Each structure stands twice: as structure tokens, then as C-alpha cells.
Amino acid sequence: MPVESTPSPGGSPTTDQVAAAAQAVVEGRVQLTSRTLDEYRMVFGLTDEDLLSGPVLDCPGGASSFAAESRALGAQVISADPVYLLAPHIIEPLVRDHLAASAAFGLAIADQLDFSWAGSPEEHLVRWQGAAETFLRDYAADHAGPERHYVPAALPRLPFADRQFRLSLCGFLLFTFPHAADQEEAILELVRVTAGDVLIGPLEDPLGAPCSTLDALRSRLADRGVTTTTRDIGYSIHPRQRGVLVCTRNS
């Protein structure tokens, strides 16, 4: 299912770049996941104040129900992901295929994971299935509406203004699939569009192996005007998880 591209207006990230990133998801080189608002709360240590005190960017948004659930609470959330190039009738089977692949992978390594926060691997799958259905309904409605909350975009270039968001979240991409985007440039771009914190996590690959170059990356970011800290948020599906990376621009 190749992703077709169309011309992009001047100054915007090229649609070819976004289409190439979407194709990586279509081909399974990057996983499309369906996570709930509750899981986002745990992964990033989010509070209601975090969600409600200003515009939030979820990049990549994937097939998660985070945006739909957060907007139902009154939050302002924009989701960015290259797969949002796809029409609802095309993205639906892709979401279901990736959900099945994620479930199979999780069950295959269940003895290495801690599902206690979800109850069991089976209950975790039920949560993801519900998140996927919520996302698909919201995506279809959004696609037909006058204002798009799901924006096709791919790091390290985003079609947003400087400091447009108060908080940006980047989950399960930069360290989970480090080949998907240039980590340093992606973080600089997220910092550019964010007035407050950028939260990135987890800091390990799908098998729980930590990023061996994290300290060097943080040093380079410091040289480019970005302060980073790590925050332990108490969420751990792998025994070696280290929380999230918090990035802010220097004043």
C-alpha cells in the first residue's frame, strides 16, 4: 500500500518527506500504536493541569485515543503523524494490522515485561483495542470536519509556529525506533514549537535496552541552547526503564 504524495505549499515540510515517513509505518518499520489517555498519564507523568493549561502537541499521535479523550475533558490537543496523510478507510485496516502485530509481540515477550499496571497482557490488549476504536471514530469525524486536529507531519520538520504549544509529548519514537528520525534535530524542532516542556519517552527500545548515546545527545543539545533533565515518572513496563527526558529552551 504505497503512500502517494502531492505538492506542498512553499515553506511547509515537503509532502514527499511526510509520505516517506508514512510509508515506513505502512511497511511496519515503525509501529503504529493505540494508547489510552491513562497510559499517556503514566508514560509522561501527566496531571490534569498539564492537559488543561494550554495547547498540547502529541507527536507522533499514532492511533492513540489520547487526543480524543483529552479534548473530551476540555483540553486543546493537536496530533501530528505522517500516517494522517491516509484517508479513514485506508488507515482503519492499517491500525488493526498493527494492533494485531503489537499484541503478538507483547505476548511473545510477556515474561520480560511488567503488565501489573494494566492487570495482565490480555487486559492490556483490551485497553489498546478500545483506544483504537476511539481513535478511528474521532479520526473519521475530524477528517470530515472543518478543522483538522490530526495533522500529517513528520519529524524533524513540523508545520507549526514557534512556541505554538505549551507542552509537547513525543512518545515511543525517538528512542524506540531511533532510525525513524534524527534524534537531535527532532528534539530541536519540538523545542522550537513549544513554549514550555517537551517530554520524550521512553528512553529504551522495545526490548528495554537503554539508549547508549543519551548522554552525548544531551551534551550536544546543551551546546545548542536546550536544557535537558530526566524525570522518573514511576511507569515501567521494562525493568530498566528510566522515565522521560524533559527538554526546555534556554531563556
pLDDT score, position 105: 72
Residue 226, H or E segment: strand 226-231
Banded model confidence at residue 202, pLDDT cuts 50, 70, 90: confident
Query: What is the percent of the chain with per-residue pLDDT over 70, rounded to a whole number?
Result: 87
Question: Does the structure show a pLDDT above 80 at 49?
Answer: yes
Banded model confidence at residue 146, pLDDT cuts 50, 70, 90: confident
pLDDT score, position 64: 97
pLDDT in tens, 67-99: 999 999 999 999 999 999 999 999 999 999 999
What average pLDDT does the chain have? 87
pLDDT in tens, 106-129: 666 667 667 776 677 788 789 999
pLDDT score, position 48: 94
Q: Is 162 helix (H, G, I), strand (E, B) or coil?
A: coil
Question: Does the structure show a pLDDT above 90 at 216?
Answer: yes
Q: Is 28 helix (H, G, I), strand (E, B) or coil?
A: coil
What is the C-alpha to C-alpha distance for residues 245 and 232, in angstroms, rounded to an integer?
A: 9
Of the candidate ranges 101-110, 210-219, 241-250, the one whose mean pLDDT is the lowest: 101-110
Is the alpha carbon torsion for 26, 84, 21, 75 positive or negative? Answer: negative
The β-bridge relationship of strands 244-249 and 226-231 is antiparallel
Question: Does the structure show a pLDDT above 60 at 5?
Answer: no
Q: What are the domain boundaries of the chain?
A: 15-249
Domain 15-249 has CATH 3.40.50.300: no
Residues near 53 by Cβ (< 8 Å), separated by ≥ 6?
166
